Amino acid sequence: MASASWDRRIRQFGSVEAARAYCREKARKSLQERIERLGLDAVRALQGEANRKSYQKRIARIGNVEAVLKKRMVDAAVSRARKKGVEATITVADIYWPTHCPVLGVPLDYSTPFGRRRVVGPAAPSLDRWDTADGYVPGNVFVISMRANRLKGNATPDELEAVANYARNSIW
């Protein structure tokens, strides 16, 4: 739901794109002025402290680090889907969150280092769409490891089988 001030901006500039461009430019100028006034190191320290406080508030509101990560993953997937014009109706409750990757069997790491937007590394959980033609809808989204999702990429089953055969038959 858009705020009243955002609605005013859209009416003022005539389109969402023009309003976003104005807001981005205003934020860029504001940051530039802060850097000139306080110095880059001081601005980075202030932003770091603001990020820490925001992160702590989010954990207090949602419950724990794992829940925050899951919500971030779903929100990011929905955001990406909307930008691409793909259907996205999933929620955290719609997804089964396994402890181990169903593809590779490695334990999934749902912890996130402080201040990080997401978990990184091969054991990080990643949302995978079973059928990429469908969107992020219940029943089409599964959690697998980042490593498995990267290996899978956009390859076809035949391509993955060819790579597996090559790996089995080659001398390492």
All domains in the chain, ordered by first residue? 63-169 (3.30.40.220)
* Contact criterion met (CB below 8 Å) for 94 and 54: no
* pTM recorded for the entire structure: 0.59
Q: How far is CA 85 from CA 1, 80, 133, 135, 140, in A?
A: 18, 9, 12, 9, 17
What is the DSSP code string of 116-142? -SS--STTSEEEEESSTTS-B-TTTEE
> What is the model's pLDDT at position 139?
92
* Contact criterion met (CB below 8 Å) for 149 and 128: yes
Handedness of CA 140, 142, 145, 146 (dihedral sign): positive
Reported as a single tens digit per residue, the pLDDT across 87-141 is 999 999 999 999 999 988 889 888 765 445 555 678 888 899 988 888 899 999 9
Q: Which residues contact 13 (CB under 8 A, 6 or more apart)?
A: 19, 22
What is the rounded distance in angstroms from the CA atom of residue 136 to the CA atom of residue 82? 10
In the chain, the amino acid numbered 159 is E
Ramachandran angles phi, psi of 143, nearest 5°: -100, 125
Mean local confidence (pLDDT), 154-161: 83
* 81 Cα distance to chain centroid: 11
Reported as a single tens digit per residue, the pLDDT across 36-83 is 888 888 888 888 777 777 767 766 666 676 777 888 889 989 998 888
* Contact criterion met (CB below 8 Å) for 111 and 170: no
